[in-house]
Amino acid sequence: MKKDQLLSRLPSSLPRLPSAAVFTRRRVLLAGAGTAVAGAAGTAGLLSLGQGAEPAAPAPAAGPPAHRAVKPSAYRLQPLTGYGPPRTAPARTVVRHEPFLRMSGRGRSMVLTFDDGPDPRYTPDILDTLAEYDVRAMFFVCGEMAADHPDLLARMADEGHVVGNHTWSHPLLTRLSRGRIRSEMERTCEVIEEAYGERPQWFRAPYGAWNRAAFQLGADLGMEPLAWTVDTLDWTTPGTRTIVGRVEHGAAPGVVVLSHDAGGDRTQSVRALRDYLPHLLDSGYHVTVPRRHYA
């Protein structure tokens, strides 16, 4: 299915959630060792403190083509038996029927998200810009890319960014069997845990195409579904100024912005971030990442 058949513009509109903890997840690990949406359209929801998703109008989504498959590493850090704090059962994740599309809270907070990486050609430049302005972002990574570049996930952990699961090879989930969807998610969770230092708590379906199985399996793996409110359409390489304009015109309390750091030539995305990020901050926006909240 062609990507442009899956796209449409999402409404823009953003409040505030507290920033995620900035301490180094990877260092902590090393120290302690230890719904349905039919077809290819995603639907909108509201990410709020301790609340579920509020339905909004369905909207299709964007994303670049799938990547080649790469075998993940078999090595993982494991705590020694009998050492360390006792294991506790993870908090229950609600099976939702639509993804979160925006944040809810106080103030003029926004979330920047980058899909399909990490890519050594573009991701480091994006991380450098975020570091220059002391801003945290979310990176929804593809497992095959993360497996090839674990150092970039380690840097994301060290600098306080949130890493989410974007499947292994960026397929259209609505065309896969339940077993294939699980495999795409599980393999990516394992690579993220190994390189980033903890398992992902957020999941984004390629092309924004969720279905019942994707919501259920994501919840089984402890992940919440997150979509977006402002699509920069940067994968179409419309020009740096166009990307900047889409972010600045769509900026509002609660907005989640979709951009890409891989899947093609992302030079324009890198340049656009350098332009719009200081303007957002000067305009009084707090660019942050959501904390996990269980309903």
User: Which residues are known to be catalytic?
Assistant: 115, 260
The answer to whether the beta carbons of residues 150 and 77 sit under 8 Å apart is no
State both tokens at 189: 């969770």
The answer to whether the beta carbons of residues 137 and 114 sit under 8 Å apart is yes
- The closest of 212, 205, 188 to 258, measured between CA atoms, is 205
Helix (H) or strand (E) holding 277: helix 267-282
The answer to whether the beta carbons of residues 202 and 224 sit under 8 Å apart is yes
> Using CA of residue 70, residue 74, residue 75, residue 79, what is the dihedral sign?
positive
Distance in Å from the first CA to the final CA of the chain: 35
Q: CA-to-CA distance for 78 and 220, rounded, in angstroms?
A: 21
The answer to whether the beta carbons of residues 35 and 80 sit under 8 Å apart is no
Q: CA-to-CA distance for 137 and 290, rounded, in angstroms?
A: 9
Residue 49's identity, in one-letter code, is L
Cβ atoms < 10 Å from Cβ of 68:
8
Q: CA-to-CA distance for 47 and 99, rounded, in angstroms?
A: 9
DSSP state of 89: P
